[in-house]
């Protein structure tokens, strides 16, 4: 699909041979999700220490309380993300705020094993500070994967693809067959152009249409009109009323 | 067929799928859910047709989202509960250790050789061990295993302190295991570093106690929990080296694939190592501080080593390959 190059959509092939598209989340939004999780964890730590050392310590004694607190820290440090990501929503609370989800690269939900892998490797992604390794790694991979994602075969995606706004505006153009054969990518680009064109200002439409001047062979409004015409033609190549022209040469060559 | 006709034609199918999905996503699935896979495949087919014909994005995106949602429902799996966990430890873990026996022996050698070496030269050249331990370490060792110490010095008065120690060992030692493993992705360097560091430090402790303390106190203390603890550390390093090796030498695979495969192979090792270390924490928290005669201490400690060896050598042999 041509769309994959212009945005962060990534094609994934399901087991059934169907290609679906995921919108992969970038560094910024993931960092914000991480910060929210961090704040939540800090709040939990504060709450737990108040609960344990003020209330439990009197009942259980200071040493048992300290032990329990260490165990609690251990599980929070290593399993906070694992439990949420392997859960039904596939996302930590911070990720849910930004409508993100951890997915297996196969398109399915993350298994417990994958969640363990990607989160245990955080230690290395964090090095030398503030996830520098992870961020560099994300910038150099097509699907914004940090080391943990690479080993666990996971990606962080948006839960939903962005909705395309469809403008219901009739297009003032005559259908026009393109003057040359268009590749699939070019056809897709034209079709997307006509879907989105009504949403843009006139200047923007003209600017984009002028990029297709080699195809339309006309500048300015005329080029835009021709481009829209070709897109309409692609949408409905044969006009229902039109009768096909008689094939004159065919009879000769057949006999 | 025009795009509009196509859209009209496939609409009943995805509306049906949407209805089925709404049922399947609740926890009380109805009989209609049986139709889900077939409807899913129909809609997948519609999606690929729509993609091929370059239908309006609105349609492909709708179908795309629907297919993804259904796929997640169909692929939803339960973790398998306790049974899977028991199998992981008793079958897949020893199998994984045996499958990577070369790596196991390499890591074992990398741990024991430097440790024994430094312990052996300490009586003649104590400055090596002293440099490793530092003044504070030396003071601490003197206080714990000094000449006047007895093997019974570690007896803890209360159950509470044993529990606290157990929790401390879990928090500290299992975390170190996980970090040892994670460091492995840097071409194995991280795992190797932790392994060698622990090896040298432990060797220095043993050497220094032989040089200036009462070794019996130390041996009686560590003999039992040493078996799972040291082996756990070696296996955690092994899991890390497995991943690191796939970065260095992916072989005939793409590096990314090799990494994923190595991660899968390393997981039973990592979990097994964590469980061994947790067992060590139980022993170190509750068993090692018991005041028992030396003979019982050493006999049970020896038993731990034998049991562990038998476990790693033979457990899960009859259950076929985990792969």
pLDDT tens, residue order, chain B (323 aa):
666 777 888 888 888 888 887 777 776 767 777 788 888 888 888 888 887 777 777 787 888 888 888 888 887 766 677 888 888 899 899 999 999 999 999 999 999 999 999 999 988 888 888 888 888 888 888 878 877 777 666 655 556 678 888 899 999 999 999 999 999 999 889 999 999 999 999 999 999 888 887 888 888 888 888 899 999 999 999 999 999 999 898 888 888 899 999 999 999 999 999 999 999 999 988 888 877 888 888 999 999 999 999 999 988 888 765 44
Q: Is A156 helix (H, G, I), strand (E, B) or coil?
A: strand
Q: Is A22 helix (H, G, I), strand (E, B) or coil?
A: strand
Which chain B residues touch A21 with a CB distance below 8 Å? Answer: 64
Residue of B185, B191, B236, B289 to mutate when probing chain A, most A C-beta within 10 A: B185
A194 CA to centre of own chain: 23
Q: What pLDDT is recorded for position A162? A: 64
Structural domain contains residue A3 = no
Structural domain contains residue A191 = yes
Query: Can you tell me the distance from the alpha carbon of B166 to that of B283, in angstroms, rounded to the nearest whole number?
Result: 8
Percent of chain A scoring above 90 in pLDDT: 28
pLDDT in tens, A233-242: 877 766 554 4
| Cα dist from B300 to A224, B225, B228, B296, B307, whole Å | 88, 10, 13, 6, 10
pLDDT in tens, B165-213: 889 999 999 999 999 999 999 988 999 999 999 999 999 999 988 888 7
Query: Can you tell me the distance from the alpha carbon of A239 to that of A175, in angstroms, rounded to the nearest whole number?
Result: 9
Determine the straight-line distance between the first and last CA of chain B, rounded to whole angstroms. 49
Query: Can you tell me the distance from the alpha carbon of B214 to that of B120, in angstroms, rounded to the nearest whole number?
Result: 16
Q: Per-residue confidence at A95, pLDDT binned at 50, 70, 90?
A: very high
Q: pTM value?
A: 0.81
pLDDT in tens, B74-88: 877 666 778 888 888
Which chain B residues touch A16 with a CB distance below 8 Å? Answer: 40-41, 44
Residue in chain A closest to B51 (alpha carbons) equals A1
User: Is A203 found in the same domain as A111?
Assistant: no
User: Is A62 found in the same domain as A109?
Assistant: yes
Structural domain contains residue A168 = no
Residue in chain A closest to B187 (alpha carbons) equals A124
Query: Can you tell me the distance from the alpha carbon of A173 to that of A229, in angstroms, rounded to the nearest whole number?
Result: 5
- For chain B, what is the largest distance between any 2 Cα atoms, rounded to a whole number of angstroms? 96
Query: Can you tell me the distance from the alpha carbon of B7 to that of A239, in angstroms, rounded to the nearest whole number?
Result: 19
Q: What pLDDT is recorded for position A45? A: 93
Q: Which DSSP helix (H) or strand (E) runs through A100? A: strand A100-104
Residue of A16, A58, A106, A165 to mutate when probing chain B, most B C-beta within 10 A: A16
Which chain A residues touch B51 with a CB distance below 8 Å? Answer: 1, 19
Instruction: Copy the structure tokens of residue A18.
Output: 């169907």
- For chain A, what is the largest distance between any 2 Cα atoms, rounded to a whole number of angstroms? 106
Query: Can you tell me the distance from the alpha carbon of A126 to that of A136, in angstroms, rounded to the nearest whole number?
Result: 11
Structural domain contains residue A205 = yes
Query: Can you tell me the distance from the alpha carbon of B53 to that of B310, in angstroms, rounded to the nearest whole number?
Result: 63
User: Is A123 found in the same domain as A46?
Assistant: yes
Decide if A121 and B182 are in contact by the 8 Å CB cutoff. Answer: yes
User: Is A33 found in the same domain as A101?
Assistant: yes
Q: Domain tally for chain A?
A: 2
Distance from CA of B261 to the nearest CA of A (A): 8
Would you call A40 exposed, middle or buried from its count of C-beta atoms within 10 A (0-12, 13-18, 19+)?
middle
| Bridging pattern class, strands A154-158 and A9-13 | unpaired
Decide if B71 and A20 are in contact by the 8 Å CB cutoff. Answer: yes
The rounded mean pLDDT for chain A is: 81
Query: Can you tell me the distance from the alpha carbon of A190 to that of A209, in angstroms, rounded to the nearest whole number?
Result: 10
User: Is A98 found in the same domain as A36?
Assistant: yes
Mean pLDDT value across residues A36-53: 92
Residue of A18, A132, A145 to mutate when probing chain B, most B C-beta within 10 A: A18
Q: Is A104 helix (H, G, I), strand (E, B) or coil?
A: strand
Q: What pLDDT is recorded for position B154? A: 61
| Bridging pattern class, strands A19-23 and A154-158 | unpaired
Query: Can you tell me the distance from the alpha carbon of B48 to that of B45, in angstroms, rounded to the nearest whole number?
Result: 5
Residue A95 lies in domain? 9-158
Decide if B76 and A109 are in contact by the 8 Å CB cutoff. Answer: yes
User: Is A123 found in the same domain as A16?
Assistant: yes
Q: What pLDDT is recorded for position A175? A: 77
DSSP A185-206: HHHHHHHHHHHHGGGS-HHHHH
Residue in chain B closest to A151 (alpha carbons) equals B260
Decide if B164 and A67 are in contact by the 8 Å CB cutoff. Answer: yes
pLDDT in tens, A123-176: 998 888 889 999 999 898 888 999 999 999 999 998 876 666 666 666 667 777
Q: Per-residue confidence at A249, pLDDT binned at 50, 70, 90?
A: very low
User: Is A102 found in the same domain as A59?
Assistant: yes
Instruction: Copy the structure tokens of residue B157.
Output: 């008065």
Q: What pLDDT is recorded for position B236? A: 94
| Cα dist from A3 to A79, A187, A217, A237, whole Å | 37, 11, 25, 22
The ipTM is 0.85
Final residue before a domain boundary, out of A123, A158, A193: A158
| Cα dist from B95 to A81, A187, B171, B179, B311, whole Å | 29, 54, 27, 23, 10
- Is there a contact between A155 and A108 (Cβ–Cβ < 8 Å)? no
Structural domain contains residue A255 = no
User: Is A195 found in the same domain as A80?
Assistant: no
User: Is A154 found in the same domain as A193?
Assistant: no
Residues 6+ apart with CB under 8 A from B15: none
Instruction: Copy the structure tokens of residue B65.
Output: 């989202």
Q: What pLDDT is recorded for position A75? A: 93
Query: Can you tell me the distance from the alpha carbon of B93 to that of B268, in angstroms, rounded to the nearest whole number?
Result: 5
Structural domain contains residue A251 = no
Query: Can you tell me the distance from the alpha carbon of B321 to that of B300, in angstroms, rounded to the nearest whole number?
Result: 32
B145 CA to centre of own chain: 32
Which chain B residues touch A195 with a CB distance below 8 Å? Answer: 56-58
Which chain B residues touch A17 with a CB distance below 8 Å? Answer: 44, 48
Structural domain contains residue A163 = no
Query: Can you tell me the distance from the alpha carbon of B267 to that of B275, in angstroms, rounded to the nearest whole number?
Result: 12
Considering CB atoms only, which of A20, A195, A234 is closest to B67?
A20
User: Is A222 found in the same domain as A154?
Assistant: no
Decide if B79 and A86 are in contact by the 8 Å CB cutoff. Answer: yes
Query: Can you tell me the distance from the alpha carbon of B167 to that of B155, in angstroms, rounded to the nearest whole number?
Result: 17
Q: What pLDDT is recorded for position B50? A: 82
- 3-state helix, strand, coil split of chain B in percent (to 5) is 80, 0, 20
Residues 6+ apart with CB under 8 A from B87: none
Distance from CA of B147 to the nearest CA of A (A): 30
User: Is A190 found in the same domain as A145?
Assistant: no
User: Is A20 found in the same domain as A107?
Assistant: yes
DSSP B146-162: BTT--GGGG--S-HHHH
Structural domain contains residue A196 = yes
Residue of B39, B68, B85 to mutate when probing chain A, most A C-beta within 10 A: B68
Q: What pLDDT is recorded for position B212? A: 83
Residue in chain A closest to B27 (alpha carbons) equals A88
């Amino acid at each position: 699909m041509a769309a994959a190059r212009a945005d962060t959509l990534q094609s994934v092939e399901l087991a059934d041979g169907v290609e679906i598209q995921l919108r992969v989340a970038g560094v910024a939004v993931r960092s914000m999700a991480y910060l929210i999780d961090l704040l939540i964890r800090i709040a939990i730590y504060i709450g737990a220490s108040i609960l344990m050392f003020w209330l439990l310590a009197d009942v259980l004694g200071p040493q048992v309380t300290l032990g329990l607190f260490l165990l609690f820290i251990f599980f929070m440090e290593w399993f906070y993300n694992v439990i949420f990501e392997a859960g039904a929503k596939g996302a930590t609370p911070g990720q849910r705020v930004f409508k993100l989800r951890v997915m297996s690269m196969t398109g399915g939900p993350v298994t417990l094993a994958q969640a363990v892998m990607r989160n245990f490797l955080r230690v290395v992604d964090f090095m030398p500070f503030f996830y520098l390794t992870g961020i560099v790694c994300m910038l150099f991979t097509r699907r914004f994967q940090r080391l943990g994602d690479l080993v666990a075969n996971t990606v962080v995606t948006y839960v939903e693809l962005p909705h395309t706004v469809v403008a219901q505006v009739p297009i003032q153009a005559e259908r026009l067959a393109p003057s040359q054969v268009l590749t699939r990518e070019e056809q897709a680009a034209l079709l997307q152009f006509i879907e989105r064109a009504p949403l843009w200002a006139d200047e923007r439409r003209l600017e984009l249409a002028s990029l297709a001047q080699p195809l339309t062979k006309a500048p300015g409004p005329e080029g835009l009109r021709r481009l829209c015409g070709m897109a309409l033609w692609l949408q409905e190549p044969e006009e229902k009323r039109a009768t096909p022209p008689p094939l004159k040469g065919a009879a000769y060559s057949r006999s | 067929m025009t795009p509009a006709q196509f859209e009209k034609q496939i609409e009943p199918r995805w509306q049906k799928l949407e209805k089925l999905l709404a049922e399947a996503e609740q926890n009380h699935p109805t009989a209609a859910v049986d139709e889900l896979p077939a409807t899913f495949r129909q809609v997948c087919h519609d999606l690929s047709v729509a993609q091929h014909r370059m239908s309006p994005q609105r349609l492909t995106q709708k179908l795309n989202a629907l297919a993804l949602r259904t796929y997640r429902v169909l692929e939803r799996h339960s973790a398998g509960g306790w049974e899977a966990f028991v199998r992981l430890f008793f079958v897949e873990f020893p199998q994984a250790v045996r499958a990577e026996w070369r790596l196991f022996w390499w890591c074992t050698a990398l741990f024991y050789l430097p440790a024994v070496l430094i312990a052996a030269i300490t009586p003649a050249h104590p400055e090596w061990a002293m440099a490793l331990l530092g003044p504070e370490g030396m003071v601490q060792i003197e206080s714990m295993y000094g000449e006047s110490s007895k093997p019974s010095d570690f007896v803890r008065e209360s159950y509470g302190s044993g529990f606290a120690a157990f929790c401390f060992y879990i928090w500290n030692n299992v975390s170190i295991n996980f970090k040892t493993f994670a460091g492995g992705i840097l071409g194995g360097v991280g795992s190797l570093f932790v392994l060698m560091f622990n090896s040298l430090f432990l060797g220095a402790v043993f050497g220094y106690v032989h040089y200036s303390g009462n070794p019996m106190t130390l041996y009686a203390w560590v003999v039992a929990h040493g078996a799972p603890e040291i082996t756990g550390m070696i296996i955690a390093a092994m899991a890390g080296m497995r991943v690191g090796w796939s970065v260095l030498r992916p072989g005939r695979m793409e590096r990314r694939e090799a990494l994923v495969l190595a991660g899968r192979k390393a997981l039973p090792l990592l979990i097994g190592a964590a469980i061994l270390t947790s067992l060590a924490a139980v022993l170190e928290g509750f068993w090692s501080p018991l005041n028992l005669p030396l003979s019982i201490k050493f006999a049970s400690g020896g038993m731990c080593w034998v049991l562990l060896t038998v476990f790693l050598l033979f457990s899960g042999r009859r259950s076929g390959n985990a792969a």
